[in-house]
Amino acid sequence: MAAIKIAPSFLTADLGRLAEEVRTVEAAGADYLHLDVMDGHFVPPITFGALVIEAVRKVSRLPLDVHLMIEQPERQLEAFAEAGGDILNVHVEACSDLRPVLEKIKSLGRRAGVCLNPDTPISAIEAVLGEADQIIVMGVNPGWGGQPLQPGTLPKVRSLRALLDERGLAPDIEIDGGVKVNNAASCAQAGAGVLVAGSVVFNDKASVAENMRALREVLATIEAQA
C-alpha cells in the first residue's frame, strides 16, 4: 500500500502561534496542511479566509489543502488560488452546478477537490468523478473539530473506492473529521489515501510530535502489509 498522507487541520491548534504550529507539524512529517475556511452560512462558525492562507503560504512549502466550507465557493476561487492554495476543495451541497466549479479550479492551475457531507450520497457526485483530483468524505458534520467518526463513513469510503476502481479513475480519497489513532488504520484500509488529523494532533494530552508519531506508527503497520 502506498504511504498514507497525513494532513493536519488547525481548528484545535493555537492560532495565536499559527506560524509556529505550522513549522511544528511540518517538522513532525505532515504531508499537507489542511486549512478549514468557514463562512458562518454553510456552517455556523466563521474561521478565516484567503489572508490567512497567504500567511501560511509564506511559512511553508507543503501543499495547502484548502477546505472551503462556504456558500457559492465559485466567487472566491481566484482569491484562494492567488493566496497560494494548492488543492481547492468545494462542497457539493454548496454548488448548484458542480462541474463548472471544478473546471474553474483546474483552469486556475489548482487541484480540484469535492467534499461530501455524511448525509450526502455518493450519487451526488457520480457525474463529475472524472473531473475531481480529490474527493473528501466527511467523517463528521462540518463545523467543529473533535467529534467522533460517524459510523457510515468507512462503508461509504469502501463503496467510493470500488466505484472509482470500476471506472478506472484515481482521485485521492481523503477522510476529514473523526480520525483518531485507533481508527486511522481502518480508514486507510477502507481506501483513503489522505487522512485529515485535527484534534488527534493538536490536543493537550501530548505534543504534536508524539501525536504524529503515534499516527505514523499505526499506519506503518498496514502500509507494510500490502
Q: With contact defined as beta carbons under 8 Å apart, do 94 and 142 qualify? A: no
Q: What is the DSSP letter of 10?
A: -
Overall size of the chain counted in residues:
226
Interface residue with Zn ion among 36, 39, 131, 133 (CB under 5 A) is 36
Number of residues interacting with ligand DX5: please give it, by CB under 6 A. 21
Instruction: Check 36, 39, 65, 133 and give the catalytic one.
Output: 36
Q: How far is the CB of 122 from ligand DX5 (least distance, A)?
A: 19
Instruction: Check 39, 65, 133, 176 and give the catalytic one.
Output: 176
Q: With contact defined as beta carbons under 8 Å apart, do 13 and 202 qualify? A: yes
Determine, following the binding rule CB under 6 A, whether residue 39 of this chain makes contact with ligand DX5.
no
Cell of 37: 475556511
Comparing CB distances to Zn ion, the nearer of 8 and 168 is 8
Helix %, strand %, coil % of the chain (to 5): 40, 20, 40
Can you tell me the distance from the alpha carbon of 164 to that of 192, in angstroms, rounded to the nearest whole number?
A: 12
Determine, following the binding rule CB under 5 A, whether residue 91 of this chain makes contact with Zn ion.
no
Comparing CB distances to Zn ion, the nearer of 93 and 223 is 93
Comparing CB distances to ligand DX5, the nearer of 50 and 66 is 66
Determine, following the binding rule CB under 5 A, whether residue 67 of this chain makes contact with Zn ion.
yes
Answer with the entry of ligand DX5, Zn ion, none that 102 interacts with (C-beta below 5 to 8 A by kind).
Answer: none
Active site residue 119: no
Strand locations in the chain (E):
5-8, 33-38, 64-69, 87-91, 111-116, 134-138, 172-176, 194-197
Cell of 24: 511544528
**Contact residues: Zn ion, CB under 5 A:** 36, 67, 176
**Contact residues: ligand DX5, CB under 6 A:** 9, 11-12, 34, 36, 67, 140, 142-143, 145-147, 176-179, 196-200
Catalogue the active-site residues: 36, 176
